[in-house]
Amino acid sequence: MYNLTRVSEFHLMGFSDDPDLQLVLFGLFLSMYLVTVLGNLLLILVVRSDPHLHTPMYFFLSSLSFNDICFTSTTVPKMIVDILTHRRVISYVGCLTQMSLFGLFVGMDDMLLTVMAYDRFVAICHPLHYAVTVSAHRCALLLLASVFLSLVDSQLHNLAVLLSTCFRHMEIANFFCDPSQLLSLSCDPLLNTVVTYTVGVIFGFFPVLGIFFSYYKIVSSVLKIPSSKGKCKAFSTCSSHLSALCLFYGTGMAVYFGSDVSSSSIKDMVASVMYTVVTPMLNPFIYSLRNSDISSTLKRILSLRV
């Protein structure tokens, strides 16, 4: 057991201690990070440059892209530096700071994906009321509410760690200060369980329930459309969002709830990479390649550059 007064740093687990693999890992994660940042910046530029894309759906999409840049930047740069320096150590204060920022941005991803499901529900099920229901004022309120709830999420994890009087050991079985990993190291199993499942229900169960309800209503409305072309068009507007949802929630929930029961640290780290690095990197491609409005605007911008 380590008393909290003696804790000054945590040791992070790397993917491999093999010196020959360090350069490969460095190049891999650096390229993935650059693609994530540039891809999401390009998506924001496309949305901002075309007045036809100044709608609630693309407002939330550009917000998601900006959040994904911040989300990835809380973990990947530190990991790249650790690979270069061969020193996988983070201070206690640095760990709490990283965990707080990580909780904020992962919560924002959670809230924005939920809000985007609500936006699609109103657009497809109540198209005549869409302009009033999802007005610019309400979009701003939904974004502010998402920020507030994400702050609550991150500070709940921070408070739980600060209330811990000791840790079982200082090894975090991940490449960053994962909140679920830190809670599992606490000497107080009751605190760990209460915080894990309280946050899981509030920020996992209820958003997923809202998403399922939205898509249940969407599917019910689409099936009533007489023409097959109309059905395909309605479903195509939701396919990109569903792909992002499956990637984010599938891997995120597996890591968050599986940290105590999983016997494989490597599997946890691979799942963490999927929702902290791969999902933000793929989101611009998912939304641009499967969206005719963004694809046409992007082609027009590239043709002007040429």
* 158 contact partners, CB below 8 Å, separation of at least 6: 96, 99, 100, 103
Q: How confident is the model at residue 252 (pLDDT cuts 50, 70, 90)?
A: low
Q: For residue 4, is pLDDT > 60?
A: no
Percent of the chain scored above 90 by pLDDT? 21
User: Which one-letter amino acid corresponds to residue 194?
Assistant: V
Q: pLDDT value at position 131? A: 87
Q: For residue 236, is pLDDT > 60?
A: yes
Kindly state the average pLDDT of the residues 241-252.
74
Kindly state the average pLDDT of the residues 285-300.
75
Q: For residue 126, is pLDDT > 80?
A: yes
User: Which one-letter amino acid corresponds to residue 182?
Assistant: L
Q: For residue 114, is pLDDT > 60?
A: yes
Q: How confident is the model at residue 155 (pLDDT cuts 50, 70, 90)?
A: confident
Q: How confident is the model at residue 276 (pLDDT cuts 50, 70, 90)?
A: confident
Q: For residue 51, is pLDDT > 80?
A: yes
Domains of the chain in sequence order: 10-305 (1.20.1070.10)
Assigned token pair, 264: 């494989």
Q: pLDDT value at position 192? A: 74
> Who wins on pLDDT, 86 or 16?
86
Q: pLDDT value at position 59? A: 92
208-237 in b/e form (b: 16+ CB < 10 A) is beebeebbebbeeebeeeeeeeeeeebeeb
**Which of 44-58, 105-119, 153-167, 238-252 is predicted with the least confidence, judged by mean pLDDT?**
238-252
Q: How confident is the model at residue 6 (pLDDT cuts 50, 70, 90)?
A: low
User: Which one-letter amino acid corresponds to residue 133?
Assistant: T
> Who wins on pLDDT, 64 or 228?
64
Q: pLDDT value at position 139? A: 92
Q: pLDDT value at position 259? A: 52
Tell me how far apart the alpha carbons of residues 138 and 56 are, in angstroms, rounded to a whole number: 9
Q: pLDDT value at position 146? A: 92
Kindly state the average pLDDT of the residues 113-130.
88
Tell me how far apart the alpha carbons of residues 4 and 162 are, in angstroms, rounded to a whole number: 9
Report which of 66, 74, 208, 206 is spatially closest to residue 147, judged by C-alpha positions: 66
pLDDT tens-digit readout, 190-235: 777 777 778 777 777 888 888 888 888 888 888 777 777 666 766 6
